[in-house]
Amino acid sequence: MPTTRDEVLLGVDTGGTFTDFVAFEDGRLRVHKVLSTPAAPERAILRGIEEMALDPARLRVIHGSTVATNAVLEGKGAATAFVTNRGFADLLTIGRQARPELYRFCAAPRRPPVPPSLCLETGGRLAADGRELEPLTEADLRALRRAVEEVGVEAVAISLLFAHLDERSERAIARAMPDGVFVSRSSAVLPEQGEYERGIATWLNATVGPRMQGYLDRLRGALAPAPVAVMQSAGRTVAAEQAAEHGVQLLLSGPAGGLMAARWLGETTGHRRLMSFDIGGTSTDVALIDGEVGLTNEGAIAGYPVAVPQVDMHTIGAGGGSIARVDAGGLLQVGPESAGADPGPACYGSGGSAPTLTDANVVLGRLYPDASLGGSLTLDVAAAEAAVAGVGSALGMGPVDCARGIVRLAVERMARALRVISVERGHDPADFVLTAFGGAGGLHVCELAEAMGMQRAMVPRNAGVLSAQGMLVAPPGRQRSLGLRGRLERVGESRIAAELERLRAGAAAELAAEGVGLPRARFSLDLRYEGQAFALGVPWTGDCAAAEAAFHARHEARFGHAMDAPVELVAVRAGLEGAPRPVRMPEWPAGVAARPIQVASLPGFDAPVPVFDREALASGQRVAGPAIIAEPVSTTWVAPGWTLEVDRFGNLLLDR
């Protein structure tokens, strides 16, 4: 829907520690942070809007939500019944029979996603070619309804074998379900082959649906009359009214915002090849952006595959709140446990006593005593030193050396994550600009770049709230797919074109309901060599020969060889994208180069280290490390050997 001149765009990113806000009003960007309220995320959002003195009557809110993610990670989704064909009630429990710990013969059994008592069987079975093997009868439908009423669930996930070839039986089951029960169909959630992946996606969609519905209803009611949209995992937004129906597509809602902001930033500054790392309070997300944000359908959450399209990123449990400890073998470990928002790191002064990565930076002086976190939290330096000293004594070292060890270990874990999305896929990190954001990103950007052999880095303007800023620049859109299997040349161009048009029309109708007209469409095919288990996506231009040639080239680039073998089509995909919202990055003022606001005495440095106010730096100003760049929502550590320059948009460009 177009943005009117009088509207205020508000991006909101709910994280594990902070809830971030970026408002775009009259050509200006305003940022804000408040502590998150995990039990009721809307409370933090309302508090932030009140503190920013924003009028809901003028707002248009775009929200990155963690409600769906937390429901899965914490096992607090809605009680869900799983409906499938007779003989396949244990489909989700068996899974792919993959063993996460290959050499551990006595691994504890994993709790099944759906208890056996809630796995229901029925008719309506299809063969792999779509032929009916067992009909779905009226007696089946009556029995299913009675069973659902007896078990008393909030949601039902319907996943019949090969339902993506003919969805009529799933639709009939959905119509037969009791009123008030949230219903999720595999033929709507993930109409592709792979009974386990399709079943898991349908169950995830069902179990988070009621939680998302309740949360979004409360949020919309509290923000009325402001319209609310939600970021999807694929980096496009969806109206809140439609979001709960597609809960499985919201599992990477917040992190997707950061990548969309990074893409927009690359287009604005001319740095289109970026390696991003987003360090929040609980985790670090890394991704590679080569002009566009890559998508994948091979994601996972809590050990379950998530085969719906999502931004291609790698996540590790290392953030500013990651707790440092000594393990049973006497080795220092950092994360994945986090101090979260309450009580948070020891330096928050909120009762936390466990040492964290943030506390280590306080001990090293990089977060200097007069700094504040989130613009309002005053640092408790003594508490941070005491917490780190406790771990240090167990290792036989002082607090400063222990703090250095905590930082080095956390940086190495982050570097390993970056290698997964770069070196392991054939990319040279030196060809990219390391782009750091999140509240703790700027503190570690130089050391991480050195660990990756990179010479250039960037800390964006508003880096501490960049995911919230990404909500503003992400366009409305949809991703749709359909399993369509057969040799590429046998399926043919006309059949492919017809199925893609059907997907496009359905997605365009949903966008039209949001007021989005004439969306741009991009089509692609999932292809593989016959006999392979994994497919690669290639663009579809209407020509089978061109698609096959593109597949051979991509296979060779990814795996080092191409094969003289038939190419098989697995699925067709349509991505629709509306016009982005009219957000512009205001230019940073030029002027007299800023002088340090103070100097800090850092352990290990003979001379005092200058501290600069980022807001006072002039466009084009250069600062040689070591130096600290302070701002209300984050801090940047310019390490020795690095030089910082402020570009015309206020981004910090770092060179080694």
> What is the spatial distance between Cα 398 and Cα 389, in angstroms, rounded to a whole number?
6
Q: What percent of the chain clears pLDDT 90, i.e. is strictly above it?
A: 58
Residue 580's pLDDT is 84
**pTM for the structure as a whole:** 0.84
Read off the pLDDT band of 93 (50, 70, 90).
Answer: very high
Give whole-number Cα distances, 412 to 200, 319, 401, 416, in Å.
Answer: 33, 13, 17, 6
Residue of 285, 398, 313, 384 whose CA lies nearest to 344: 384
> What is the spatial distance between Cα 286 and Cα 424, in angstroms, rounded to a whole number?
14
Beta-carbon contacts of 595 under 8 Å, excluding residues fewer than 6 positions away, are: none
Dump pLDDT digits (tens) for 599-653. Answer: 888 888 989 999 999 989 999 999 998 999 988 777 899 999 999 999 999 999 9
Residue 3's pLDDT is 52
Is there a contact between 442 and 459 (Cβ–Cβ < 8 Å)?
A: yes
Q: Please write down the long-range contacts of 168-172, taking CB distance under 8 Å and 24 or more positions apart.
A: 169/123, 169/124, 169/126, 169/136, 170/124, 172/124, 172/136, 172/141
What's the chain's average pLDDT?
A: 89
1, pLDDT greater than 60: no
Please state whether the peptide bond connecting residue 632 to the residue before it is cis, i.e. omega within 30 degrees of 0: no
Residue 68's pLDDT is 86
- Which has the minimum average pLDDT: 186-200, 240-254, 522-536? 240-254
The whole-number average pLDDT for the span 11-15 is: 89
Q: Which two tokens mark 195?
A: 């009974």
Three-state secondary-structure class, residue 376: coil
Opening angle at CA 429, ends 425 and 433, nearest 5? 125
368, pLDDT greater than 80: no
Q: What percent of the chain clears pLDDT 70, i.e. is strictly above it?
A: 97
210, pLDDT greater than 90: yes
Residue type, 241: E
Dump pLDDT digits (tens) for 45-85. Answer: 999 999 999 998 999 999 998 888 888 877 889 999 999 99
Read off the pLDDT band of 2 (50, 70, 90).
Answer: very low
Pairing of strands 433-437, 456-459: parallel
451, pLDDT greater than 90: yes
Distance of CA 35 to the CA centre of its chain: 20
Read off the pLDDT band of 373 (50, 70, 90).
Answer: low
Is there a contact between 410 and 358 (Cβ–Cβ < 8 Å)?
A: no
Q: Is the domain defined by 8-72+213-253 classed in CATH 3.30.420.40? A: yes
Residues written for the chain: 656
Residue 138's pLDDT is 96
Same fold, 73-212 and 477-577: no
Residue 302's pLDDT is 80
Q: What are the extents of the domains in the chain?
A: 8-72+213-253, 73-212, 477-577, 598-655
Cβ neighbours around 656 below 10 Å, total? 15
Q: Which option is the CATH number for 73-212: 2.40.30, 3.30.1360, 3.60.21, 3.40.50? A: 3.40.50
Is there a contact between 193 and 129 (Cβ–Cβ < 8 Å)?
A: no
458, pLDDT greater than 90: yes
Dump pLDDT digits (tens) for 156-184. Answer: 999 999 999 999 999 999 999 999 999 99
Residue 5's pLDDT is 54
Angle in degrees, 0-180, between the axes of helices 488-513 and 544-559, rounded to the nearest 10 = 90
Strand pairing partners for 458? Answer: 435, 653
Highest mean pLDDT pick, 5-19, 192-206, 423-437: 192-206
Read off the pLDDT band of 134 (50, 70, 90).
Answer: very high
Is there a contact between 633 and 375 (Cβ–Cβ < 8 Å)?
A: yes
Q: Which residue has the tokens 């899965």?
A: 72
Helix (H) or strand (E) holding 314: strand 313-316
Dump pLDDT digits (tens) for 556-598. Answer: 988 889 999 999 999 999 999 998 888 888 888 888 888 998 8
Position with higher pLDDT, 380 vs 176: 176
Residue 341's pLDDT is 64
Cβ neighbours around 97 below 10 Å, total? 6
Q: What does CATH list as the number for 477-577?
A: 3.30.1490
Dump pLDDT digits (tens) for 94-117. Answer: 988 777 777 887 877 788 999 999
Q: Which two tokens mark 153?
A: 């669930």
Dump pLDDT digits (tens) for 296-332. Answer: 888 888 888 899 999 988 877 777 888 888 888 888 8
Read off the pLDDT band of 498 (50, 70, 90).
Answer: very high
